[in-house]
Structure 1
Amino acid sequence: MTDFMTQARAAEAAMRDVFPPTPLQKNAHLSERFGADIYLKREDLSPVRSYKIRGALNAMRKQQDQQLFVCASAGNHAQGVAFMCKHMSVKGVIFMPVTTPQQKIQKTRIFGGDNVEIHLVGDYFDDTLSAAQDWCAREGGHFLSPFDDADVIEGQSSIAVEIEAQLGRVPDHVILPVGGGGMSAGVTSWFGDRVHSLFVEPAGGACLRAALTAGRPVPLEKVDTFVDGAAVGRLGQRPFELLRHVPLPDVIALPEDRVCTTMIEMLNVEGIVLEPAGALAVEALGDLRSWIRGKTVVCVTSGGNFDFERLPEVKERAQRYSGIKKYFLLRLPQRPGALKEFLGMLGPEDDIARFEYLKKSARNFGSVLIGIETKRPENFTEFFARLDAAGMSYTDITNDETLAQFLI
């Protein structure tokens, strides 16, 4: 471990040739809410707006004679590799999933310029990874894993080196988002048992929990790609070797829609733009109140590469999760005054966001898709009570994923 800490310090020093330390900022809003000293390690303010530049920089500086680097990435690792390819005047071939947000693809092109070429392959990261490794085996070059690489893990550990230097001591807790596990492995290897590390992953990509349960990295049957920066179907083998003793209670899985509430709050309250993976650590605070009260806590905001074209979706998800927006199917009587009667049941804080007839040929009733926004979740209890009292038939489809895919 002494050797690792020496190498981590060397990696952190190498960062200074490219960019300054990312800020460690105490957040008054979160500190007051949770009764703790909450700090944000702002990896979203690195040159590529994520921590991934660290692993790329460290691994590539150790391959000084290499002129071609190949990688697979959901977006952030790609940007780090592209940035360093241009910085080091070497070539890069970057594979990204077809589902990668356009913002990340465009920024990768900007950072790499003529030094990189981009291939969009596969709907899921693991498909992209296989394509990149096959290409590298055929064409040559040095394959640079986004997380399953000792030099990449070492580079990510520079986050912890900076945190301790900036804080002047170690925190009580550090909260880390988990994708493939490279950053978590690096940070916890530096802190060891001096800090209580907590790990947060999206519920639709909980590969750390799966690996700890199975005793080895295992593929997930299905991955929800919304939290694209952490939507990995299998934890890396090297990260697992460093994380295999993590207690299961220290691993938190958050629903994707819930993460959206923090993205919206941080944007509106703090003016901080976080991508879904970047918001994981902050959102997890709500699950940790009893652990963190009175303590010093560092949340790693891992990335801010957010495509604002996704903002309506993020808002929609946040509202539905918070219970202030619902969709339902209403059987509306086909008689004069029925619509007016329905509208009269709305409360002063209720607003119709969607109104669409789905069936107009029924003789006595018509099916209507209704979307309603309100200011407080309890307003819906009162609204549905008024519908029941009037004998109106309705079906709440807000959380019916099958119907939502077709209708909402």
Structure 2
Amino acid sequence: MSDGLNGIPDAVRAGQPTVWRNPHGRPAAEILPGLAYGLAEVAEAEARWRRFDPLLARLFPELATGRIDSPLLCLGPDVAAHVAGFAGARVLVKADHDLPVTGCIKARGGVYEVLVQAEALARRGGWLRTGDSYARLAEPDARDAFAAYTIAVGSTGNLGFSVGVMARALGFAVEVHMSHDAKAWKKQRLRDLGARVVEHAGDYGSAVAAARAAFADRPDAHFVDDESSVDLFLGYATAAFDLRRQLAEAEVTVDGANPLHVYLPCGVGGAPGGVTLGLKLLFGDAVRCIFVEPVAAPCLLVQLAEGLEHPVSVYDIGLDNRTAADGLAVSQASMLVAGTVGPLVEAVVTVEDTALFTWLRDLWEQAGLRLEPSAAAAFAAVGPRLTLSPEARGGTHVVWTTGGALLPEAEFRTALGLGIR
């Protein structure tokens, strides 16, 4: 019997590695003017980050300036050739696996949304007035006031930690709802922060739905909704400003003749979607964004291939959503992301778990990058995409890593051992 989903390639249904070139892609100039969120909203989010710099510098000793950003690394010629599949490739790494405070890209969204809530509460309560330094929010009276509120989130781990570490630093109570496939060490890390961890037998989507229901209409709480939060989305989008600055410092030209190809691991879609929006606003069609998903959980590919009329799950096409890339183990994509940046996505590449571990090992041994399996996914996509589209070899290729710096040593060593030699 047909499932009625006719736009999804057979290889995707079969759980085979696939390079899907988005047939629904449209020029940025056609799509961006009609979006609900544009450069003004992303610039406003960037300005909010800067207002919080004094507070973040006070709360986290590793942040000398208060800015949460990661290095832009240039891979040596041999490693770049290994990643891209040809000699002479220019491959850079946006090293969010080593992002300060949280060690993962989720800080860009999770920390930001907590700061949005803290600012709103402080202004309503009169604890923060025009002209005050935001470092004021670290004072005991502000912390006592925040303690009356709960910040909640559904997560497989990294978003929960990013929300939790920021919220607990300000004094909020924290509740994180987690799926069965979330790593035990991530749950314990949250408990060590003082967060309440609620475990669910279902997958990530079930945990999010349960948390959303539990915190509906609670005036003393805020639920960080990974599937539909505009604040998360805009927090991620501001990363484009950081990358633009770093590319200029590295004297990397980005224009029609020198395109920027950016490879982004994708779970529910918030982080890669936000980054894509920001990059498209700054660079237009000179940037090409490629999303990367596990073969068992290609939720955004499935959604974009089928269309945006109704939500589609990987379960609908017979896939099981089981992957070692726990941060990418998502059965249904964010409709906010799909509807906003879907036409701006160049391609989606699906990769097997074995490739994640092989690249994790290779990048540690050859470049000293300490990654989670999810963060290694984007490296596994570069070669297959360029094999299918050799005309895309020119320009600069940026692989965006997502987590790994805080991976426990035993977990990392186990992952290294799974790499195929």
Q: TM-score, normalised by structure 1?
A: 0.72
Do the aligned residues in 2 keep the contact of 1:181 with 1:236 (CA within 8 Å)?
yes
Q: What are the ranges of 5 or more consecutive residues in structure 2 without an aligned counterpart? A: 1-37, 57-62, 122-145
Q: 1:316 offset after TM fit, Å?
A: 6.3
1:255-334 superposed matches below 5 A:
255-289=352-386, 290-304=390-404, 305-310=406-411, 314=415, 317-319=418-420
Cα 1:185–1:231 change in 2 (3 A) is same
CA distance in 2, matches of 1:311, 1:86: 27
Q: Which has the larger radius of gyration?
A: 1
CA distance in 2, matches of 1:109, 1:191: 36
Across the two proteins, how many residue pairs are aligned to each other? 316
Code of the aligned partner of 2:154: A
Do the aligned residues in 2 keep the contact of 1:209 with 1:251 (CA within 8 Å)?
yes
1:7 pairs with 2:58: no
1:181 pairs with 2:269: yes
Cα 1:273–1:123 change in 2 (3 A) is farther
2:105 maps to 51
Code of the aligned partner of 1:57: V
Cα 1:24–1:227 change in 2 (3 A) is same
Q: Secondary structure at the match of 1:286?
A: helix
CA distance in 1, matches of 2:224, 2:367: 35
Q: Which runs of 4+ in 1 moved over 6 A?
A: none
Do the aligned residues in 2 keep the contact of 1:12 with 1:161 (CA within 8 Å)?
no
Q: % of aligned pairs identical?
A: 24
Q: 1:11 offset after TM fit, Å?
A: 4.8
Code of the aligned partner of 2:341: L
CA distance in 1, matches of 2:325, 2:211: 22
- State the structure with bigger RCO (CA 8 A, min sep 6), 1 or 2: 2
Code of the aligned partner of 1:4: E
2:135 maps to none
Q: Spell out, residue by residue over 1:285-315, the C-alpha distance to the aligned partner (whole angstroms, 9 max, x if none).
A: 2113325534211111011153554557645
Q: 1:147 offset after TM fit, Å?
A: 4.5
Q: 1:241 offset after TM fit, Å?
A: 1.5
Q: Which moved more, 1:257-266 or 1:18-27?
A: 18-27
2:235 maps to 155
1:214 maps to 306
Q: 1:260 offset after TM fit, Å?
A: 1.2
2:5 maps to none
1:340-351 superposed matches below 5 A:
none
1:67-78 superposed matches below 5 A:
67-78=149-160
Q: Which of 106, 117, 122 pairs up with 2:196?
A: 117
Q: Which of 25, 39, 49 pairs up with 2:73?
A: 25
Q: Spell out, residue by residue over 1:97-126, the C-alpha distance to the aligned partner (whole angstroms, 9 max, x if none).
A: 23321221232233xx33x21112224111
Do the aligned residues in 2 keep the contact of 1:24 with 1:41 (CA within 8 Å)?
yes
Code of the aligned partner of 2:169: H
Q: Spell out, residue by residue over 1:5-28, the C-alpha distance to the aligned partner (whole angstroms, 9 max, x if none).
A: 322432553574434321111111
1:100 maps to 182
Higher strand share: 1
